[in-house]
Amino acid sequence: MTLKSELERALEFERIAIKSYNDSVSTEKNKDHLTLGLLNAELKYGQDLEDILANPEIH
């Protein structure tokens, strides 16, 4: 295992969580503020992982 492969794996899990929260928010008609907060946190964390993976030093 490499750092890059572990980060890619973490990003896969983030995408699954994002989809799950997004589906839940869609079902709740955006009224569930807790789920919206969790979705926003997952989106930020997913973006952070993408930014780290874009760093040439990781490859």
DSSP track, 1-59: --HHHHHHHHHHHHHHHHHHHHHHHHHTTT--HHHHHHHHHHHHHHHHHHHHHTSGGG-
Cα-based distances in Å from 31 to 9, 25, 43: 31, 8, 18
Looking at residue 44, its pLDDT comes to 97
Residue 38 CA to residue 2 CA, distance in Å, equals 28
The tokens describing 54, both together, are: 């874009």
Instruction: Give the domain range for residue 48.
Output: 3-58
pLDDT of residue 30: 63
Does this model's pTM top 0.75?
yes
Name the domain count of the chain: 1
Q: What is the pLDDT along the chain (59 residues), one digit of tens a residue?
A: 899 999 999 999 999 999 999 998 888 676 788 888 999 999 999 999 999 999 988 76
- Amino acid present at 53: L
* Residue-level pLDDT at 7: 95
